[in-house]
Every structure is written in C-alpha cells, then in structure tokens.
Structure 1
Amino acid sequence: MARLLGDVPRERPVYAALAGAVRGLIQDGRLAPRTRLPAERDLAAALGVSRTTVTAAYDRLRDEGHVASRQGAGSWTALPPVRWSARPTGEAVPAAGKRFGRAYPVPETAGFIDLGCATPGAPAIFEEAVAAAVAELPRHSAGPGYEPAGLASLREVVAAGYAARGVPTRPDQIVVTTGAQHAFTLLTHSLAEPGDAVMVERPTYPHALGALRGRGVRLVPVGVNEGWDMELVAGGMRQAAVRMAYMIPDFQNPTGRLMPAAEREALVGAARRADAFLVADETFADLALDPDAPREPPLAAFDTGGRVISVGSASKLLWGGLRIGWIRTTAPLARRLTLAREPFDMASPVLDQLIVQELLLRLEEVRADRAATLLPSRDALAEALRATLPGWEFRLPDGGMCLWARLGAPVATRLAEAAERAGVRVAPGPVFGVDGVLEDYVRLPYVLPPGTLRLAVERLAHAFQEVREAPAARPVTAYV
C-alpha cells in the first residue's frame, strides 16, 4: 500500500491529501474494491505519518463511501454511488457550435461519428490479396472444406511468423479460429472451470470479460493504468490461486501500453510459480506506429513449459470483416482445442483463411500501411484534445489504435450518453473494467481520418460541457 501511494503529498491538511491519494488508487483501478486496508498503525508507520492522520483519512473515505468498515472485521475499499456536480467556476470548454437544449446539431456532411469501434478499414493491398486468394480457392474446393485446425498452408505461415520473432513453432502448434474472440472463448472453456480464479487486467478488452463471466469464473483484476506492477501481479496470482491469466502485453487495449521485455520475463515466471496458464492477446502486436522500431519479444519467448498460450487475430491488423484468428500453444493442447471446437464450430471459412494467408505473406507492407494511416490520425486527435479539452489527460502510445483519456471527473458514463446525443459514440471506462471503476476514463480510437476526429472532439467538448453543467443528480449505475 505504501509503495502504491508513493510520497504522500504534504499539503495541509495531510489527512485530506492521503485520502485523495487512496481515492485515486480506487478510482483508476489500481486498488480493487473489497480490498482489505492495512491497520491504521501499520500504514502510519510505513508512510512516516501519525496514526491520527491515517485515522482521519480513513474517516473521510468512509464518509465518501470509498471505505466500508465493520466492527471487528476491519476496513476495505468500496465504490460510492456516482453523482454529478456542476462545472468548477472558471473552467471553460471552447464552443464549437450552437447548442439546442441538451442535444447538439449534427452536421449532415459528417453524420454520426462512431468512436466506439477500434477497427480500421482494409489496407491498400486488400483487393490484390482477395484476387490471389480467389485464384487459389479451386485447389481447395474439391474437398469438403472442413479443416478444424485450419488450412495447413495458413498454419505454416503463422508458425513461420512466430519463428521469425524468436519463438520456434511448428504448424501443428497452431489452431486457426473464427476470430480472436472465438479463440479466447475456446480457451476459456478448455482451461477454466466455473469458480476458477482468472486474472484480468483492469482496464481490458470487454468481450474477454464477457466470455469469462459466461463461463462463471472468479475474476481477479490487476490495475494497468500506470503499467504492470509485477509484484502485485505475482502476489495476486499466488493469493487467489489463479488458474489462468489473460494479458495484452502489446499496445494494451485500451491503454496502449507496451510491456518491456524484463516485465514479460517476470510475468511468465510468476505464472510458472503459480502453476497458471498465461493467455497472451497479441491482436495489436504488429501495430507499432514506427514499423522499424525494435520489437519486444513475444511472451512465449520466455516460456519453457508450454504455459504461455498466444492468441492472434486478423481483425485489427488486416480487416475486421476477416473473421480469422489463431492460437499458438503446445501440439497436445492444439489437438485438444481442435476437438473441443467441433461441436460448436466445425471450421473457419476457407476463403477468409486464404485472404489472411496472402496478407500475412506481405506483412511488412501491411504494417507500413497501417502506420502511415494511424500516425497522422493519432497526432490529429491528440492535438484536438489538447486545444479543445486541455483538462483531459492522456499519453501518446507508440502503437495500437487508441488513446486512453482521463477526464478529471467520474463522469464517463454520463459523457457517453451526452456524446451520443451530440453525434459521436465513445466507450466509457467502466466498459473495460470488472467492478464499476474507471468512471473518469474514456477510450478514443484514432482509426478515422484526422478531419473526422477533430469534429468528434468538438462534439465531445459540447457533451462534456453539458455533463459538467448538469445539476447534481441521482446516483447512476456504472455502464458495464
């Protein structure tokens, strides 16, 4: 707890500064709800403050609803109902057009702007790849078309890609799936039983959370807004007896963070000690905005016991309409997964697999195309936010497709509702969390053209102004 808090701000009163620091840990997900808090005397000693200061800080947090206590049972973190307050005096949002009540006019030339989906259109060479795949299709059409493990030729290409990144892989270690979501659902049903503990990042990919909830597992979140804290990860795995951990080490969705090699090695070591499977979502791994930048090794490069299972996908790198993904694992588990899929999904579409194969054979062209498109859009979005919503905080990621913006107030769900009326859809932070935190974040993809993103920010500014000017309202249930 003391390490997470760091140096407690010394502004007066100190107890209020300490309460604010703990509140921040709870709101951004680094300190999970229902986490038992240290005893007042112990935390005071660790922080170098008086016990009276810690007691007063706990009292304030208890009054706010961020701490719950019971006689003889101690205190633990909690989430209060979300309430909305008026904009602080003197803070202004630049106007971007006339307002009409609580809904803003949507220019007909722009139409509705969807920032809820972080998926771009197909790359420039897509038509060539389709033509090549169609030409190849007759070689496969004489057979039944069912290849539960995937086309042998595609599995060879995917395996060669791992080998090129320092992870020797045979085609029989690859299972082609109908998208990454199918891959993850298949792994969830094969590796975890209802009631098992599964570690997830907070924030993380929402549809993975949906698959895990559907399986009835017990979710163990670990915060990654400030990066991966391997001490917390290892401790959580050990204490919760985690069966499986789902991580996105490459341009994490939605934070955009890239896990360093040393932390990857530590993560694999923690999974080995906890006897847990480690599922690495590599959907964004090839989406560096500088294609020539040195790449971090895959998590599987640090694995010696078949504990790391890698999931790849065509949806972000190639095109969302290509419902093709893949799993890299040990050959025995690959065979088990192939058998497990047959009652639900006999095989993936042959033509889609051939198109993906053609595109992966020209991977460097695709990576360069993506970088050339995404980088100007990222910079345009960042520039517009700095100019129009200077109070929002974000870091520029070196890859991926999203900015993870902090609003400075827990109003993300209400902002998403107001933004929809203003003609732009955004995903509020709680969508990406387990337990209703992250209300002060929104995910902003930069997959649309720069001009469209600038207009989207103008509309968001209007929506944010509406939310901040709204009178105090009833508690609002978090959007999950």
Structure 2
Amino acid sequence: MNRYLSGPQLARLVAIDPGARPYYRVLAETVRSLILDGRLPVRVRLPAERHLAQELGVSRTTVTAAYDRLREQGYLESRQGAGSWTALPRPSEMGADNPWIASGDDGLLPLHAAAPPATPLLPEAVAAATERYLCRTLGTGYEPPGITPLREAIAARYTHRGLATRPEQILVTTGAQQAIHLVMTMLLTPGDPVLLESPTYPHAIDAARTRGARIVPVGVPDGGWHLDLLTSALRQSAARLAYVIPDFQNPTGHLMDDAVRAGLVGEARRHGTTLIVDETWSELALDEVPRTAPLGAFDTDGRVISVGSASKLWWGGLRIGWVRATAAMVRRLAVLRAAVDIASPTFEQLVVTELFSRIEEARADRRRTLGASRAALVAALAEHLPDLTFTVPAGGGALWARLPGPSAVSLADASACHGVRLAPGPWFGMDGALEGRLRLPFTQPPTVIAEAVARIAEARVRGPYGARPAEPLTPVL
C-alpha cells in the first residue's frame, strides 16, 4: 500500500460546514460517501488524526471519534505504527443502512431480487486480473467464444462434476440471460411450442415470448418434479425446446434427483426435444445433499445445452455467463452472438478465471453467509408471519412461500409503501397464475431480512395507507 492522502488533501475533499453537528458523525459519513462513490479509493492511507484535526480546525478527539466510527462500520482499517487506510466492509455484514441495499433510486429493501453481494474473494481476483490485463491488449480484444483461460476453467469444472467437457464446448456470454436468449433465438421460430416449468425464472418467460413461441407450462409440485407430468407435457405439446432448472430450482429451491434427470433426458430424446438446463444455482448447496450429476451427463446425442453464470456464486456485477453444448453448436452460437455484442468484456473474464481457481472457498463462504440469512428469514417469518407455509430448501437463494389466500400482488403493493419490494408469485408464472405465492430471497444480510419481514407484517396489518414515513437509506453528504 503506497498511496496516501495528506491532511490538506482530505480536508479539501470533505469540505464540511464548520457548524455541522455532531461534527464527528458528519465527517465519518462524508468520508464513507467518498469511498462508496469512488472519489476516495480503497487502500489509501489517511492522514494522522492530529494532522487532519489541524487542517479542519477541530479537536483531535473529534477526528478520533470519526475514525472510530469508520472502523466500526468497516470503512477504515488501522494497524499500530502503520496508520489507517480506507476499506470496504463485507456486504453480508452490513445492515439496512447500507446505501447499496436500496433498490435503485426508490429506497426500498430489495426482497424481490435473489442476488447475493459480491464474494469477499473479488478484490484479490481483480488485483490478479489487473496484472494479466495489459498482456491481452496486444490482441484485438474481440473473442466471440470467450478467452481461452476462462473456457478451460469452465470446462474443467464440468469435468470435475462428472461431465467430460472440452474448452471448444464452452461459449462465454454476457450473463446467463444472454445465454438463454441466444439459444432460444437460434432454436425457436415464432409459433414453436416451448416447455417451461411453472413456476420458473421470469426472464426465461420473457425470452420465449420475445421469440413468439407458444409457451407450454408444466407444474413443479411442492414435492419436486413428477416425471410423468414432464413426459405427458413433452408428448402432448411436441415441444421443440424445454427450459428446466434442476439445481435448486428458481424459485422453489427443489433439487432434481438423478433418476428424474435420466428419465427427463430419455423422454426428451424420445420426443425430439432439446433441453436448456439452467445451472445458475448449481454450486450453492447449503446443506448436505445427495450428489447429483449434471443433466448433460445423461445426454448421448447433444440435445442438452447447459447454461451457467458467475452471478450467484461470485457476483452479478461481473456479467459473465456461459453455454456448454457441442462444439458445433458453440460455433453457431458464437457467430450469432457476434452480431449482438461481439464478445464479453475481457477484464471481467480474467476476473472470473481467477475466481474459478478458488471456487471451493467461495462455495464455503456462501454456505456460511446464505445459511445464516436463511435461518434469519425462517425465524423472522415464524415470529411475524406464522401463517405463511414453505419448505426450507437445501440450497439456492429463496423460499417459495404460500400465503393463506390469493393476495401476493396486493401484499407486494402494500409492502412497497412500507419500504420493501417483493416478488409476487405471478412474476414466475403465466397468465396471472401463482397469486397465492411469494418468493422470499435469503440473499440479503440477516439484519436486513429481519427488518424487511417486520415491515411486510406491518404492511399486512395496516395496508398501503398506513405506511410510516420513509426512513433514509442513503448516506448523509
């Protein structure tokens, strides 16, 4: 760490009104805001307390109190004899006052999004990728299939999981959504029947509708998939394509066992259906579960196309996903995607390559943090909303809760007035179905989840017109 700020430099950056009260708190919040918006980089040494106090014209005790507050919040680290430097707290340990938890500009707690914060391994991966980045500038930077090191890392992970894969079978995409869109664009024409689970990932519904496909829903019961329901839907619909989420299904959290996986692939072969298998949540088992093989391990004729993503295990902001298919299919998809965005960003691909080398560390951290958040959600629901019923999933990122009546949309509207954004069941189905359901993610910190559930309970009692005044969720500038 070589970068540092002098007392005069930091004093110019904070520019606090001398009459601000309490001064130490305003100073701490201002420094925090500078760190969060990037004007004050992480790992920069701050001036000694007495030097900053002298420049600001306040007592050293005031600056010491501000530094102490920043240390408590995780924005400052100190070591005896080495000074203090800027830092970022672990997102999973922050509460509802975390300004980045607010959903967009509306200030609502985002219980509509099953997206965890970034892995703590990200800073080291970014630093390692930075060292390798300049070497990549010797080329054009346009690699539609993805950079070779990342394709090798993804292929190696599939092989480790029991599905032998070569790098030529991997296409790197700009997130899993692009992967799903590309495959549906290539394989569907308007009017083609496509089988979707109900409930399912909302953007898969959007992708199928964009292609003008005829959606054929097949229910996913509370106990998991019924192979006979899947079989009859394939047979009766003659679906050209089917989209399934066998690993901690979104939103139910179910894990498909190997018998159903093998049976589904066999039935798809019999009826001429290609399977898109979304494995976005596959690495996020929170409990001990039976080992399952990737769905592609049961494939013998190239009809299983797997989609994965860095978003849930590492961070959605990386926007890196992938497709695993036959080498011939990957080449066709690469040509198609070149007309869309040519290639995914090289730097983010390098970061994900680094993260793959520490995948077990990331999985262990997610088990710890998501496991704690899941427990907090279950406890909060038992205390505040005991009439909701659900099965606690062994992995994934959300509970699929049943309400006592068909009121999900109205509860979501009321909860928004109380500061919480919810994902009502109809988002995950077709034609307004699933009104009696809510998806409740456990990807936020436990303190945020507890606060959100308390607000939902209040919204249920008081309705949208009994909302309390909104509490600020952004830092004081």
TM-score range, shorter chain: 0.7 to 0.9
Match 1:309 to one of 301, 305, 323: 305
Aligned to 2:197, what secondary structure does the other structure show?
A: strand
Partner of 1:254: 251
Kindly provide the CA deviation profile for residues 449-473 of structure 1, in whole angstroms up to 9, marking residues without a partner as x. 1111111111111122245999xxx
Partner of 1:172: 168
Deviation at 1:225, TM superposition (A): 3.5
For 2:334 and 2:305, locate their aligned partners in 1 and report how far apart those are by CA, in whole Å: 15
Closer/same/farther in 2, CA of residues 392 and 133 from structure 1, 3 Å limit: same
Please state if 1:263 is matched with 2:267.
no
Please state if 1:272 is matched with 2:269.
yes
Kindly provide the CA deviation profile for residues 91-132 of structure 1, in whole angstroms up to 9, marking residues without a partner as x. xxxxxxxxxxxxxxxx98996311111111111111000001
Structure 1 length normalisation: TM-score? 0.74
Match 2:374 to one of 374, 378, 385: 378
Partner of 2:241: 244
Deviation at 1:401, TM superposition (A): 0.5
Closer/same/farther in 2, CA of residues 118 and 108 from structure 1, 3 Å limit: closer
Please tell me whether the aligned partners of residues 411 and 467 of structure 1 are also in contact (alpha carbons under 8 angstroms). Answer: no
Q: Please list, as runs of the form range in 1=range in 2, the aligned pairs for 1:32-431 lying within 5 A after superposition.
A: 112-226=108-222, 227-290=224-287, 293-431=289-427
Match 1:442 to one of 438, 442, 453: 438
Amino acid at match of 2:352: V
Partner of 1:475: none
For 1:295 and 1:132, locate their aligned partners in 2 and report how far apart those are by CA, in whole Å: 32
For 1:366 and 1:273, locate their aligned partners in 2 and report how far apart those are by CA, in whole Å: 39
Please tell me whether the aligned partners of residues 199 and 429 of structure 2 are also in contact (alpha carbons under 8 angstroms). Answer: yes
Aligned to 1:242, what secondary structure does the other structure show?
A: coil
Deviation at 1:443, TM superposition (A): 0.7
For 2:329 and 2:186, locate their aligned partners in 1 and report how far apart those are by CA, in whole Å: 9
Closer/same/farther in 2, CA of residues 235 and 467 from structure 1, 3 Å limit: farther
For 2:221 and 2:353, locate their aligned partners in 1 and report how far apart those are by CA, in whole Å: 35
Please tell me whether the aligned partners of residues 418 and 464 of structure 2 are also in contact (alpha carbons under 8 angstroms). Answer: no
Kindly provide the CA deviation profile for residues 378-437 of structure 1, in whole angstroms up to 9, marking residues without a partner as x. 011001101211110011101000011101100000111000001101100000001211
Higher relative contact order (CA 8 A, sep 6+): 1
For 2:353 and 2:458, locate their aligned partners in 1 and report how far apart those are by CA, in whole Å: 45
Partner of 1:84: none
Partner of 1:461: 457
Structure 2: unaligned runs, 5 residues or longer: 1-95, 100-106, 467-477
For 2:286 and 2:447, locate their aligned partners in 1 and report how far apart those are by CA, in whole Å: 19
Amino acid at match of 1:241: A
For 1:468 and 1:337, locate their aligned partners in 2 and report how far apart those are by CA, in whole Å: 47
Aligned length: 363
For 2:182 and 2:266, locate their aligned partners in 1 and report how far apart those are by CA, in whole Å: 25
Amino acid at match of 2:225: W
Amino acid at match of 1:426: L
Please tell me whether the aligned partners of residues 381 and 453 of structure 1 are also in contact (alpha carbons under 8 angstroms). Answer: yes
Kindly provide the CA deviation profile for residues 124-166 of structure 1, in whole angstroms up to 9, marking residues without a partner as x. 1110000011111122111110000000111011001111111
For 1:421 and 1:347, locate their aligned partners in 2 and report how far apart those are by CA, in whole Å: 41
Partner of 1:5: none
Please tell me whether the aligned partners of residues 413 and 464 of structure 2 are also in contact (alpha carbons under 8 angstroms). Answer: no
For 1:244 and 1:148, locate their aligned partners in 2 and report how far apart those are by CA, in whole Å: 24
For 2:397 and 2:239, locate their aligned partners in 1 and report how far apart those are by CA, in whole Å: 30
Closer/same/farther in 2, CA of residues 468 and 153 from structure 1, 3 Å limit: closer
Please tell me whether the aligned partners of residues 225 and 255 of structure 1 are also in contact (alpha carbons under 8 angstroms). Answer: no
Deviation at 1:348, TM superposition (A): 0.3
Aligned to 2:316, what secondary structure does the other structure show?
A: coil
For 1:389 and 1:462, locate their aligned partners in 2 and report how far apart those are by CA, in whole Å: 10
Please tell me whether the aligned partners of residues 300 and 310 of structure 1 are also in contact (alpha carbons under 8 angstroms). Answer: yes
Partner of 1:8: none
Partner of 1:63: none
**What do you get for the CA RMSD once the two structures are aligned?**
1.7
Partner of 1:82: none
Amino acid at match of 2:256: M
Aligned to 1:147, what secondary structure does the other structure show?
A: coil
Deviation at 1:294, TM superposition (A): 4.3
Please tell me whether the aligned partners of residues 254 and 403 of structure 1 are also in contact (alpha carbons under 8 angstroms). Answer: yes
Structure 1: unaligned runs, 5 residues or longer: 1-106, 471-480
For 2:97 and 2:354, locate their aligned partners in 1 and report how far apart those are by CA, in whole Å: 39
For 2:246 and 2:341, locate their aligned partners in 1 and report how far apart those are by CA, in whole Å: 28
Amino acid at match of 1:212: A
Kindly provide the CA deviation profile for residues 325-353 of structure 1, in whole angstroms up to 9, marking residues without a partner as x. 00000011111101111111100000000
Structure 2 length normalisation: TM-score? 0.74
